[in-house]
Structure 1
């Protein structure tokens, strides 16, 4: 099957991403010849991707090269400046590509971390639409760590595999920005289980950026597992906010209440690590005006994708529509904040009822 025909079957038409020119002093053109040392690619330097790329750069051999790409010139410039400082300690060389195709041409392992399904499709379309990529000594490995819908992920996998450009793996992660920075992320990945060699290779790459990596099954299994996890997180977060609001209004001390729950059957990540009440957990976003963390818009996106996956698979989600209504209302009033800001929204609702 030709490259163009495979792409037309695998991707529904989307507008290519507009790749802006990065800092020209740090950008170079690439030849199509194979480098002696391994070359790694990373596309997407958002809050998660930036930290993941930093950990990758720090842990791969000093003789290797890391090629980065992002539409945000400020993020790219900052990454390069930080690498110049790190280079004094003999870490790997970092260079900037002008587009995603250049990253794909040179990288033996290419990792993407992007916000939405359309972004991922656009990037892979731009990498594959210009014909065969250069043949490397080792099979090219594409690892997408974005949280997208299973159908889109399988479409991309089909495009990569049908055109024989390498192996595609969906590998979303859990652990948030804190885990990305600390290198303690947990990955769940979908990859063909025909050979253990591929699974071992994928796991060895992911462990450079995290502490756990579960092989969940074939293509699409990773994102399916991530959406199941984040649906549970969405519900737990609302319940935690409601419990804390209820307890405080009943006169309970929030720290004592949280400690009790965290040693009882109600223990969960939103209560223990990301507690929504300011001051209960000093490292939580709530203690810094809900800044950083997992944005409410991202939770809304993941909830939407989880609901779509449930509809596709015929799985009933009894609390989905109610949760979606809550997160839509919260995002409208607290856009840009961590998703634990649901607690503040509940406080406002309580005050309005008095």
Structure 2
């Protein structure tokens, strides 16, 4: 995700200072003349507008508060935007640490996947001090079609977690529906067409269909390679589960979705796109 996001900043004329834990990920930026440094702290020393995109809460904590983290060399007045999807409580703690250093922290997780990142059509859900939103919007607008202010720090994460829980539920529902229809003798393309002109229509059916051969340009057309990994979906559903527990919110379908994606990871689907739940349902006969 960070790669195409950075490229869109380049297209808008922003010079970049880049760090990635995997040096090879920075090679094309180095070849293009951008600065590549050896730690998050080095980024903070050279830049006062920093965007992070990381897989987990643990990675985010390390990038900001670790031995070579951003907070070791952050400059007063810097704007730090975290576009990772992490626990809202972690975002709030990082914001406190950043504020003590005289800088500003905003959480701005994204929706839309790698395709939207490449085309600059991501949706950013932003939490933080409202007075700083305009500065964040200027940068995020280079990478996204929608930049939405959600409220205080952590509310961006809250919105993203809610979105991804619904996405997981509707993807599983779409996969179950398509599988049932196919086994009842319906052509999958015809069934998808009917769903998408009827009340069952959703993003998982009309934009990201999980059935191979129904749509081009989606992971199901490429053996579920690329896209949004099953491991990441399981992680996000875990965040939803934790948030539901802390707020005493019943998430019956969300909990079931979490269990399904955890089982998929255990069954060898961890590196496949989350729409591979269709393949999982087709192959598992023990439900």
The bucket for the TM-score relative to the shorter chain is over 0.9
The DSSP-based 3-state class of the residue aligned with 2:276 is helix
Q: Give yes or no for contact 2:48–2:75 (8 Å, CA) kept in 1.
A: no
* TM-score for the superposition, normalised by structure 1: 0.77
Aligned partner of 1:58 in structure 2 is 11
* 1:264 aligns to 2:201 (yes or no): no
Question: Is it true that 1:183 corresponds to 2:104 in the alignment?
Answer: no
Question: How far is the alpha carbon of 1:127 from its aligned partner?
Answer: 3.2
1:128–1:252 distance in 2 versus 1, CA, 3 Å: closer
For residues 128 and 207 of structure 1, do their structure 2 counterparts lie closer, same or farther at Cα, with a shift above 3 Å needed?
Answer: closer
Q: Does the 8 A contact of 2:44 with 2:71 survive in 1?
A: no
Aligned-pair distance for 1:315? Answer: 1.3
CA-based RMSD of the aligned residues comes to: 1.5
Q: How does 1:304-315 map to 2 (within 5 A)?
A: 304-315=238-249
Alpha-carbon shift at residue 242 of structure 1 (Å): 0.0
Shift of 1:129: 5.2
- In 2, Cα distance between equivalents of 1:176 and 1:298: 12
Matched, 1:97 2:32: no
2:200 partner SS: coil
Structure 2 equivalent of residue 70 of structure 1: 20
1:294 maps onto 2:228 in alignment: yes
Uncovered stretches (5+) of structure 2, i.e. residues with no partner = none
Task: Please give the residue correspondences for 1:133-148 in structure 2 after superposition, counting only pairs within 5 Å.
Answer: 133-135=74-76, 139-148=77-86
Corresponding residue SS for 1:142: strand
Instruction: Confirm whether residue 347 of structure 1 aligns to residue 282 of structure 2.
Output: yes
State the match for 1:11 in structure 2. none
Cα distance change, pair 305–289 in 1 and its aligned pair in 2 (3 A): same
Q: State how far apart, in whole Å, the 1-side matches of 2:139 and 2:71 are.
A: 26
Give the drift of 1:128: 5.2
Unaligned runs of 5+ in 1: 1-47, 84-92
1:319 partner SS = helix
- Residues 133, 285 of structure 1: CA spacing in aligned structure 2 closer, same or farther, 3 A cutoff? closer
Residue 168 in 1 paired to residue 67 in 2? no
Range with greater deviation from structure 2 (198-207 or 119-128): 119-128
- Runs of 4+ that moved beyond 4 A: none
Aligned partners of 2:74 and 2:101 also within 8 Å: no
Query: Any idea what SS the aligned residue of 1:212 has?
Result: strand
Instruction: Give TM-score scaled by structure 2 length.
Output: 0.95
Secondary structure of 2:284's aligned partner: helix
- In the TM superposition, residue 228 of structure 1 has moved relative to its aligned partner by 0.3
